[in-house]
Amino acid sequence: MKYSISSLLLLAGFASFAQSTKTIKQSGNPIFKGWYADPDATIFNNKYWVYPTYSAKYKEQVFLDAFSSDDLITWKKHDHILDTSAVKWANKAMWAPAIVQKDKKYYLFFGANDIQSDQEIGGIGVAVADRPEGPYKDHLGKPLVDKFHNGAQPIDQFVFKDKDGQYYLIYGGWKHCNIAKLNKDFSGFLPFEDGKIFKEITPDNYVEGPYMFIRNGKYYFMWSEGGWTGPDYSVAYAVGDSPFGPFKRIGKILKQDPSIATGAGHHSVIINDKKGTYHIVYHRRPLTETDGNHRVTCIDEMKFDANGMILPVVITNEGVKAQKVK
């Protein structure tokens, strides 16, 4: 079949138009429906998982949901993986889950009851399951941390695995952050060499929401600043040579964009070692919302400069491109 030059040009034009208008599938933000905050994101069994706080009034925060995805685009909801019926000492304010896999078990750390003093029942608990989606049951029958140590409210827990295989609990609200060495079955703690259980590692401007990871032998410590109900909520970081620091604040890397959303903070990071990518998963408040609890979970890329410093994250409505774990 022969084509005239004009026909070939026309076909080429159509091909060019089709290519230019082809859209690359992206997650969009928020990544799933509903009011959710404080997300802990990770990879289990070649799937992405997000464990957030159900963002509502404290008395309504009596359960935790989870979400899974094969590609960062389509998310499956796993309802009520844990609720207060399985944790007899918890009755409200189930916050900021932190998940870790160890010895073929999944351990879900959570805050409950928003205690304001050592005389109240509550603090940081641990639940355990055989699968990432649960159901989870109370591991201890009591809180793991139920007192204020070094001024830190027992909330916003994160579990960090060091290079030597040691697990640490890093946690704290009320502008104080502690680190403690977990024992093998996560039923308690091991003392440090000086006999202390809880060491304070609070950097400048710390408020809550700690997170830690290792990159190129350095320890990146991240946290949230500002008030969680306000537009100034944000994430800053420091870099140290050990999980104990010392950590000198470098600066903010996540904050609001008044044209996109406000109150961007309390995050975690999905690290895909196979592909060398970093995705920050965080919550923010839509511009249409004034209710403090109206927070949504979002995802964007996190990148580094040539010196290993974290570049400021650009928050978007588009989110990220599809990516399989492998």
112-120 long-range CB contacts below 8 Å, 24 or more apart? 112/84, 112/87, 112/143, 113/89, 114/58, 114/155, 115/146, 115/153, 115/154, 116/153, 117/148, 118/146, 118/147, 118/148
Q: What is the CA radius of gyration of the chain?
A: 22
What is the full per-residue pLDDT of the chain (326 aa) written as tens digits? 554 544 444 444 444 333 333 356 999 999 999 999 999 999 999 999 999 999 999 999 999 999 999 999 999 999 999 999 999 999 999 999 999 999 999 999 999 999 999 999 999 999 999 999 999 999 999 999 999 999 999 999 999 999 999 999 999 999 999 999 999 999 999 999 999 999 999 999 999 999 999 999 999 999 999 999 999 999 999 999 999 999 999 999 999 999 999 999 999 999 999 999 999 999 999 999 999 999 999 999 999 999 999 999 999 999 999 999 99
Q: Catalytic site residue 38?
A: yes
pLDDT of residue 24: 66
Domains within the chain, CATH numbers bracketed: 34-301 (2.115.10.20)
pLDDT of residue 8: 43
pLDDT of residue 161: 98
Q: Catalytic site residue 65?
A: no
| Separation CA 119–CA 115 (nearest Å) | 8
pLDDT of residue 4: 53
Amino acid type, 289: E
Question: Residue 128 corresponds to which tokens in the numbers above?
Answer: 């355990």
Which positions ≥6 away from 109 have C-beta within 8 Å? Answer: 97, 98, 99, 100, 124, 125, 126, 127, 144, 157, 158, 159, 169
pLDDT of residue 187: 98
Catalytic annotation, pick one of 40, 114, 208, 225: 208
Catalytic annotation, pick one of 38, 65, 133, 300: 38
Q: Residues 33, 65: contact at Cβ < 8 Å?
A: no
How many other CB atoms are there within 10 angstroms of residue 303's CB atom?
13
